[in-house]
Structure 1
């Protein structure tokens, strides 16, 4: 009986040792480490999903911003072109109403190369030079303001612009002359409030004349 009891006790101790030393550590390692690994994988996967979602949203928003800028530029260009067209119409109607005979491509005999075309052109530039000489008090000099100097100041508006408009000129040159027909009187009336000088007014008219021609005919763009 003692041998049986001792062997049974020995077997029970072996069973306890084996169950305590091998089964429990494995179960404990599985229970502790496996959930930790799963949470790490889930956390990393969530971070990846968040990053990809953010990148996709940024990729979607960038084209919208580009489209907004393009639409804004198109709207601004459309408004400026509409204003330019309206301004051209107003200037053309005003110049055609109050200016002397406007040049027409169909019935105007002063075509380029003709004698009449040359006469109008020479008349326009000669009147410009004579007006400068009168306004600078070189012809019929006097110590007081007189009619000759006043005519010299207004010579570009009274003689130069009408003579050049009487030719069969191009569309751009005609637009330049229409603008000048309205701009020169504004300069001649405004400048004397600040500087009472016939020569200054004539010089301002000449600068406006050649500046308008350079803008409408594209002199600087052709040189570039």
Structure 2
């Protein structure tokens, strides 16, 4: 259609000039090229419109393809930000070494073993107190309350005092913030020291399995 309109315009413009125009000496032959310029402009505008339409289609197709990897990569910064917040909070409120020297509780040392045995012994003792097996009473008392909070007060700080790996330290930092939330939230629904201690124990081993990859090793 563009070529037909361009040729028709050429014929129309040429027909307007008189037939004796080539016989005149004062008029240069270059003046007869004026209609061809008009034809070229019309044809060029048609091609330009087609190029603009193709460019618009390409620009509309590019964002659809670019959004797919952006949604996948968006989860990585969130995970990093969460780790930073948990690490700063645990480092601020959790017990830490009083000196700036290297931690002497390295793996294989006596101090490392003492902290580890102390941590799991306090966990077992807290469970016995929470289930009302030692110093039994029919009313809530200090012993059962201590047993409910034993994992947060004794187990986690004892394990954090060791020179542990990075993944284990992250697990303990998460537990230092998660266990108080469980201990405060669960009594609104179930008023039982044993249930709270059991929930803390399940959260403890689930966090270790996630951060240390226990389930992956079994597979």
Where do 5+ consecutive residues of structure 1 fail to align? 1-59
Whether 1:92 aligns to 2:93 is: no
Higher helix content, 1 or 2: 1
Name the CA distance, whole Å, in 2 between partners of 1:108 and 1:153.
29
Residues 133 and 73 of structure 1: CA distance in aligned 2, closer, same or farther (over 3 Å): farther
Whether 1:218 aligns to 2:213 is: yes
Whether 1:135 aligns to 2:156 is: no
Residues 192-215 of structure 1: CA deviation (Å, up to 9, x unaligned): 000000000000000100000011
Look up the SS of the partner of 1:108 in the other structure.
coil
Pick from 74, 80, 84 the counterpart of residue 75 of structure 2: 80
Name the CA distance, whole Å, in 2 between partners of 1:200 and 1:153.
9
Where do 5+ consecutive residues of structure 2 fail to align? 1-56
Task: State the 1:221 CA deviation.
Answer: 1.1
Whether 1:114 aligns to 2:109 is: yes
Q: List aligned pairs for 1:164-203, cutoff 5 A.
A: 164-203=159-198
Name the CA distance, whole Å, in 2 between partners of 1:78 and 1:100.
35
Give RMSD over aligned pairs.
2.4
**Structure-1-length-normalised TM-score:** 0.67
- The alignment of Structure 1 onto Structure 2 pairs a total of residues equal to 162
Residues 88 and 102 of structure 1: CA distance in aligned 2, closer, same or farther (over 3 Å): farther
**Structure-2-length-normalised TM-score:** 0.69
Residues 196 and 190 of structure 1: CA distance in aligned 2, closer, same or farther (over 3 Å): same
Q: List aligned pairs for 1:17-36, cutoff 5 A.
A: none
Q: State the 4+ residue runs in structure 1 displaced beyond 2 angstroms.
A: 71-74
Residues 97 and 68 of structure 1: CA distance in aligned 2, closer, same or farther (over 3 Å): same
State the structure with more CA Rg.
Answer: 1
Task: State the 1:68 CA deviation.
Answer: 4.1
2:21 aligns to what?
A: none
